[in-house]
């Protein structure tokens, strides 16, 4: 009987996470880590993805000005998210002001 050659952890991890039902959390973590590459430096410096619920991404935004800017680019951001993270199937972005900044 011949044994399988050693496999890299990175090759096994997606299958293990899927088996444990944790694949979505892994993709969300990747999204948070790669947020800047999706939205660009200016938006990334003033916002952060919080979580995915269903097909909706909740994003915390520094102030109303940047909330409007993200709203303007919403369709493009959703398109890029689905290119980079197709398993998440994002179709909506919900924005909320950063806590403690509501009065700015």
Answer yes or no: are the C-beta atoms of 92 and 49 closer than 8 Å: no
Tell me: pLDDT of 76 over 80. yes
Can you point out the beta strands (E) in the chain? 47-53, 56-61, 92-97
Per-residue pLDDT, 15: 62
Per-residue pLDDT, 101: 58
Rounded to two decimals, the pTM is 0.74
Answer yes or no: are the C-beta atoms of 72 and 64 closer than 8 Å: no
Give first-to-last CA distance, the chain, whole Å.
69
Per-residue pLDDT, 104: 47
Cα–Cα distance measured from residue 88 to residue 66, given in angstroms and rounded to the nearest whole number: 24
What are the φ and ψ backbone dihedral angles of 48, each rounded to 5 degrees? Answer: -155, 140
84 against 4, higher pLDDT: 84
Tell me: pLDDT of 92 over 90. yes
Per-residue pLDDT, 99: 83
Per-residue pLDDT, 80: 97
- pLDDT per residue as tens digits for the range 1-57: 555 666 676 666 556 555 555 455 768 889 999 999 999 999 999 999 999 999 999
């Amino acid at each position: 009987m011949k044994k399988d050659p050693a496999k890299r952890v990175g090759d096994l991890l997606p299958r293990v996470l899927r088996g444990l039902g944790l694949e979505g959390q892994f993709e969300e973590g990747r999204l948070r880590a790669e947020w800047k590459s999706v939205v660009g430096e200016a938006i990334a410096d003033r916002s952060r993805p919080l979580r995915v619920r269903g097909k909706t991404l909740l994003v915390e935004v520094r102030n109303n000005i940047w909330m409007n800017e993200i709203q303007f680019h919403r369709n493009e951001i959703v398109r890029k998210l689905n290119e980079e993270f197709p398993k998440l199937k994002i179709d909506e972005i919900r924005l909320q002001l950063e806590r403690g900044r509501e009065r700015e």
